[in-house]
Structure 1
Amino acid sequence: MAIIKVVKKSGKTKSSLKSAVEYIGEKACNTFGINCSNDYHQIVNNFYETKEYFNKLDGRQYRHYIQSFAPNEISKNEIMEVANRWAEKVFEGHEVYIAIHDDKDHLHAHFIVNSVNFINGKKLHESKKELEYKKEINDEICREFGIKQIEKNRKIGDIVAYDKDKYEVIKKGADITSLAEKILEVSKVATSKKEFIAKLEKEGYGIDWNDNKKNITFSIPVSILKGKKNKFRLSNLEKTFNIPLFTKENLIEKFEINKSMANNIKLEDINKKMGYSPEEKKITTEVERKIEINSFKISKNNGIEL
């Protein structure tokens, strides 16, 4: 399944638009223009005719999107059709320049979208909800072409990064990798959210876990930081490494299991010290049975080692 990414550094000058178009146009193996030229040399003029007509020359000049496929997931002919259908559906009334790149080990499409709608003159503003809608449309079109959701076939710990250089960095041990390893390590022993946070903070990691917020955010200690980015969301870790444990709900469930197992060990110690008979151990045995059932469910559903 194709992944849609937004390039955040979309410029606010005519020269930035020209640079972006030339970059993707020169490297393209195939191009297509929706409501504009197929020739990247003409795109800036096409876009500015619309901007001048509606007197909207200031602010963001364009939006840049990338549609990435897994290696050998799609052909060059198919990717242009998928890209074209997606752009026509989600950027109605906009000029869109599409460039297909094959310079990586996977095919991907670049989209440069005029920020001004040529029908109504409105600027392109995008909320999170609107971006999610665009991604849903992408998924629908991919399914029509028989391209399945690859996440369903991924193994626990498989890395998703369609940029080969980024993949190698993560694989060799980037900051995001060390953070994921540390969370797994602490989650194996923590018996509560409070203990989980305390153990991470003791080693210098920052954690913003607010029950009223959707995301949990972690920060890397300066002492071990290798790159520039020091903050990562738990949801990004889950997507990057395909580890189901990396959600609020599953972490809390894991803490409860750790707590139950710890209590069971204490009961077993008491039984040994007090010399309880088999009949008197029934309550302990029942606790053990419930823990084994819960542990099996969690390990089966979440792929975590207990």
Structure 2
Amino acid sequence: MAINKTINKRTNSHGAMRNCIEYILREGKTEQHLVHIIGPYPYEKVNYDLVYQSFLAEKRLWGKDSGRMYFHNVISWHKDEKITPEQALEFGIEFAEKWFAGFQTVVSVHKDKDHIHCYIVTNSVSYENGKKLHNSRKDLERMKRLTNRMCRERGLSIAEKGKHFDGSQIENGEVTAWSKDKYNLFRNHAKDSYVADCAMAVLNVMEYCTSREQFIREMKNAGWSVNWTEKRKHITFQNQEGKKVRDSNLSKTFHLKISKGELEDEFIRNEQKENYGIHRYDTVDADLTRYYRQVEEAVAGTGGGPVECDCREGRIIESPDKRSRIDTEMYGTNRRVSRRDSESLIRKSEAARRASEVNRGKSETANRIVQNAEYQSVSAEKQRRSAEQERIAEQERARAARRKNKRHSEPEL
């Protein structure tokens, strides 16, 4: 299972680039046969200072020695993955040649941890045409797909969202923080963490809320103000001490589904459950009332007196003394026949009760089917709206690009 992560910290200075190259080529973490240079490199020996000077020479050649200096990627494999350092180096070289084609890149494999990881540092200026490298959010998704495809070609496992390396499901609330320091903090000091406190408050409140307004109100009662607006992509929670937490932070750290869309879907499900519960209890009460009336009428038809009902078991209880008195007064010498008729009617009433329970079960199943259909319909509508918005945005970007190209192509007067 390969995880390909792009590091975006401090990439706009010479010192940051030099320190990054020095780290990935540091002795004790890697060896010379686990290092490879892609692109022009005029030196025979590979060390961090020469690689750094080579990167600078390319930038100055094209007059682009400013802005973002380099791109830094780390490809990590699970400790149980069957891969050697040499295979990891070959993997990193192939990825860099495909993704960073035309850009000077240094690839290095570290084996100083319990898992193998490959570092890739790429010059931001192309040695072929002097253009600068840019990666968008969509490019990062394409990068992930390329990494997964390369894993499949080599028979390696694929990272699946919501699952561990062995394929087991990550449980809700399980800590999966990207940062090692954050992970240890939550595992050892979860009770003292305001982030964990916010996660618990959200979990407790979202279980019963049926609208955004109710959710915001209940979170405020729990000590958290909620900034949920249409202009902002994420929800921000703030406690009374002024400490803030984003929904994306909670989702990544505790594997929770609490984005705007997911919370709204939960509100719809809660409302459907609430409406279904009211209808269900009304149906049950009506069925029980009808059942007991049928039993009383059946027993009264044989001259029987009042009966006692045990609602917990759904049974009709009649004491031996009452049964004996009814038989003696109403039937005299025909006591056995009377008792048999009465028992027959009670059996029929029991059959009627069981039939009522079966019908109620069918009704509950039908309600669940309707509930699932409504939920799927709402989800499909949201997906359709999202796709439509994306299509409109793409058309607008295309029109803007055409206008820009037209302005550049117009001859100067």
TM-score higher than 0.5: yes
Taking the TM superposition and a 5 Å limit, the aligned residue runs for 1:43-58 are 43-58=51-66
2:308 corresponding residue in structure 1: none
- Tell me: CA distance 1:3–1:217, structure 2 relative to 1, closer, same or farther (3 Å): farther
2-side partners of 1:222 and 1:64: how far apart?
38
SS class of match (1:125): coil
Contact 1:3 / 1:67 at 8 angstroms: preserved in 2? yes
TM-score by length of 1: 0.77
TM-score by length of 2: 0.59
SS class of match (2:6): strand
Taking the TM superposition and a 5 Å limit, the aligned residue runs for 1:261-272 are 261-266=273-278
TM-align CA RMSD:
3.6
> Within the alignment, does 1:67 sit opposite 2:75 as a pair?
yes
Give the Å deviation of 1:191.
1.6
Give the Å deviation of 1:46.
1.0
Aligned partner of 2:140 among 112, 131, 137: 131
> Within the alignment, does 1:99 sit opposite 2:108 as a pair?
yes
Larger Rg: 2
> Within the alignment, does 1:169 sit opposite 2:181 as a pair?
no
Give the Å deviation of 1:41.
3.0
Contact 2:178 / 2:253 at 8 angstroms: preserved in 1? no
Aligned partner of 1:80 among 77, 89, 108: 89
Give the Å deviation of 1:13.
2.8
1:110 corresponding residue in structure 2: 119
> Within the alignment, does 1:232 sit opposite 2:246 as a pair?
yes
After TM superposition, the structure 1 stretch with the greater mean CA deviation from structure 2, 278-287 or 110-119, is 278-287
- Tell me: CA distance 1:104–1:184, structure 2 relative to 1, closer, same or farther (3 Å): farther
| Paired residue type of 2:239 | P
Contact 1:104 / 1:164 at 8 angstroms: preserved in 2? no
2-side partners of 1:90 and 1:255: how far apart?
42
- Tell me: CA distance 1:222–1:4, structure 2 relative to 1, closer, same or farther (3 Å): farther
> Within the alignment, does 1:252 sit opposite 2:225 as a pair?
no
| Paired residue type of 1:91 | F
Give the Å deviation of 1:178.
3.4
Report Cα offsets for 1:139-192 as digits up to 9, x if no partner. 211222222224342322344346544432233325543333322211112122
1-side partners of 2:15 and 2:67: how far apart?
13
Give the Å deviation of 1:7.
1.9
Report Cα offsets for 1:78-113 as digits up to 9, x if no partner. 222222221111111111112223344432222221
> Within the alignment, does 1:203 sit opposite 2:222 as a pair?
yes
Contact 1:10 / 1:63 at 8 angstroms: preserved in 2? no
Give the percent of matched residue pairs that are identical in Structure 1 and Structure 2: 26
2-side partners of 1:149 and 1:260: how far apart?
35
1:180 corresponding residue in structure 2: 199
Structure 1, unaligned stretches of length 5 or more? Answer: 299-306
Aligned residues: 290
2-side partners of 1:175 and 1:239: how far apart?
16
The structure where helix makes up a greater share of residues is 2
2-side partners of 1:264 and 1:284: how far apart?
13
> Within the alignment, does 1:149 sit opposite 2:168 as a pair?
no
Give the Å deviation of 1:285.
7.7
Give the Å deviation of 1:216.
3.1
2-side partners of 1:222 and 1:122: how far apart?
49
Contact 2:103 / 2:123 at 8 angstroms: preserved in 1? yes
